[in-house]
Amino acid sequence: MEFITQNFAPIMFAGLIVFLLFGFPVAFSLGACGLFFGFVGIELGLLPEALMQALPLRLFGIMQNDTLLAIPFFTLMGLILERSGMAEDLLDTIGQLFGPVRGGLALAVIFVGALLAATTGVVAASVISMGLISLPIMLRYGYDRRLASGVIAASGTLAQIIPPSLVLIIMADQLGRSVGDMYKGAFVPGFILTGMYVGYVVLLAFFKPKWVPALPIEARTFREPNGSSGLPSLVVVTVLATGAAVFFGEHIADVHTWWTGQPVETVAKDETIVVSMCVGVTLAFLLAVINKVTGLKLLSRIAERVTFVLIPPLLLIFLVLGTIFLGVATPTEGGAMGALGAFIMAMVRGRLSMSLLKQALNTTTKLSCFVVFIL
- The one-letter amino acid at 215: L
Residue 50 belongs to what H/E stretch? none
> Which 8-state DSSP code applies to residue 212?
S
The predicted structure's pLDDT at residue 150 = 87
Alpha helices in 7-85 (DSSP H): 8-21, 26-44, 55-63, 70-83
The predicted structure's pLDDT at residue 126 = 55
Q: Are 287 and 240 spatial neighbours (Cβ–Cβ below 8 Å)?
A: yes
The predicted structure's pLDDT at residue 128 = 64
Rounded CA separation 157/138 (Å): 19
Q: pLDDT of 61-84, one tens digit each?
A: 777 777 777 788 888 887 887 777
Angle ∠(15,16,17) on CA atoms, nearest 5: 90
Q: Are 310 and 93 spatial neighbours (Cβ–Cβ below 8 Å)?
A: yes
Tell me the CA distances in angstroms from 221 to 48, 68, 135, one per residue in order: 69, 44, 19
DSSP string, 9-29: HHHHHHHHHHHHHTT--HHHH
Rounded CA separation 174/285 (Å): 40
Q: pLDDT of 198-221, one tens digit each?
A: 888 888 888 888 888 877 776 667
Angle ∠(243,247,252) on CA atoms, nearest 5: 145
| pLDDT beneath 50, residues of the chain | none
Residue 214 belongs to what H/E stretch? none
* Number of neighbours of residue 375 by Cβ within 10 angstroms: 18
Burial group, residue 244, by CB count within 10 angstroms (0-12, 13-18, 19+): middle
Which are the contacts of 233, defined by CB distance < 8 A and separation ≥ 6? 298, 299, 300, 302, 303
Rg (CA), the chain: 24
Which are the contacts of 370, defined by CB distance < 8 A and separation ≥ 6? 25, 27
